[in-house]
Amino acid sequence: MAIDPHASPSSRTDPTLAAMKAGFDDDLFVEGADWETVVDAVEDETLTVNMGPQHPSTHGVLRLVLELDGETVTHLRPIVGYLHTGIEKNAEFRTWVQGTTFFTRMDYLAPLFNEAAFSLGVEKLLGIEVPERAQAVRVILMEFNRIASHLVWLATGGMELGSTTVMEFGFREREHILDLFESQSGLRMNHAYIRPGGIAQDTTDDFEARCEALLTLLTERLYDYEDLLTKNPIWNHRLRDVGHITAERCYALGVTGPLLRAAGVPWDLRKAEPYCGYEQYDFEVPTETAGDCYARFLVRLEEMRQSMRIIRQALDTLPGGPVMVADKRIAWPSQQSLGTDGIGNDPAYIRHIMGESMEALINHFKLVTQGFTVPAGQVYSPVESPRGELGYAITSAGTNKPYRVHVREPSFVNLQAANEMTRDHLVADVIVVVASLDPVMGGVDR
């Protein structure tokens, strides 16, 4: 290590700043020159193209350095980190409950999975069991989230193939799902709704009716996608035999999720290690054997159907009861109720802590300001996110804050396969392959 990590901040920043200033006038601008000089300087026949980080189809700020021979890709190097926000580090300075508000912002297309995986890990450390109703609601919302995420994948993937209609359709349906999330959690994205110990608040009265209506709508609209795309000749031509990867290479590169299933392995953590009561529900793990982009398209389309199947079963068997653990040392103390201003504190609860019980007030105060402590230990809690295995490796030192949380992000890992999947393909296929990987840069860069 070239530098002293203990050095004071100013001495840390000075060298870079000085270097920046020194080089500012000379290096940052390429002087205008005749294009010929550029051409003459080229020795080999390959062209290096920087695709991104500012590029329409790199899912945010992914940068792909392409080595092109004509239009054929000879090498692809993904460069990430442009969206790094230090969420893992930040979480070390927030309480366990506050952690969910951070992690939900990582993979912003699948926020509920992040919350769920983190909460499951914390619950494992605490050794608590979440009430059945909370588990069922988690399942329903996570599956809706899976559909929403796949819809965005379809929308952006279609957009990148030049099919704006698919984009409009995908986002249109997703909006309905986000409306449902908003009605339950108050937020369209980044809900912080699933928390250690249960969920933030019970569902609204019209929750089941809303879900039913949404399922009816989605069932119908999924057929539209099939009509528009599955037999669409150009869609077929563009996706088939593109970005092929075998199951063996998936294992070696750590690729999971729809990509692994499209390569023929029926691997799904909801089946393998059921969490949140997934073992109660009857569903299938769709697989394809081709391992190309078209297979991934079919797998994701079928996954949306299976998700709806799970939601139906969960709605049919939705149990009553509390949505937060009974343990007063963990459960969020504040009781919300609908006030004249739309939302507010429950007057009865306020009377209880302010007028009746000093201990309740102390408990409330302690839990809200300091949070609960979690016994020391290490856990790894994986869930099946829309992109693959989303794992939270949580280390607790026995405090009210995580000691270290590391997230195994499927987007981050799957991106490693991009080079292999695009070799000897054309530039146009790079877009298709990256779209089929479905990376979310918020998750990749964390």
User: To the nearest whole angstrom, how small is the minimum distance from the Cβ of residue 433 to other proteins?
Assistant: 12
Residue 278: CB minimum distance to other proteins, A: 14
Return the residue matching tokens 């054929």: 72
Residue 197 has which token pair? 């110990």
H helix and E strand count, the chain: 19, 10
> Which 3-state string (H, E, C) describes 102-119?
HHCCCCCCCHHHHHHHHH
Which residues does 77 contact at the CB level (< 8 Å), separation at least 6?
Answer: 64, 65, 419
Q: Give whichever of 18 and 209 is closer to other proteins, judged by the CB atom.
A: 18
Using alpha carbons, select from 419, 376, 440, 435 the residue that is nearest to residue 78: 419
Q: How many CB atoms lie within 10 A of CB 6?
A: 6
Q: How far is the CB of 308 from other proteins (least distance, A)?
A: 21
Least Å distance, CB 332 to other proteins, is 14
Q: What is the DSSP letter of 265?
A: -
Helices (H), 284-391: 293-316, 347-351, 358-369
Of 350 and 379, nearer to other proteins (C-beta) is 379
> Which CB atom, from 207 or from 235, has the smaller least distance to other proteins?
235
Residue for token digits 């300075």?
Answer: 93
Q: Identify which of residues 347 and 380 has a Cβ nearer to other proteins in the complex.
A: 380
Kindly state the smallest distance separating residue 427's Cβ from other proteins, in Å: 6
Position 216, amino acid: T
What is the rounded distance in angstroms from the CA atom of residue 415 to the CA atom of residue 433?
A: 10
Least distance (Å) from other proteins to the CB of residue 53? 12
- The DSSP element (H or E) to which 420 belongs, if any, is helix 418-422
Dist. CA 350–CA 335, nearest whole Å: 9
Closer Cβ to other proteins, 112 or 415, answer by number: 415
* 394: helix, strand or coil: strand
Q: Which is nearer to other proteins, 274 or 319 (CB)?
A: 274
CB of 338 to other proteins, least distance (A): 30
Alpha-carbon distance 166 to 157, whole Å? 8
| Least Cβ distance, residue 254 to other proteins (angstroms) | 3
Closer Cβ to other proteins, 75 or 312, answer by number: 75
**Is there a contact between 139 and 276 (Cβ–Cβ < 8 Å)?**
yes
Distance, CA of 23 to CA of 108 (rounded, Å):
37
When the beta carbons of 178 and 397 are compared against other proteins, the nearer one is 397
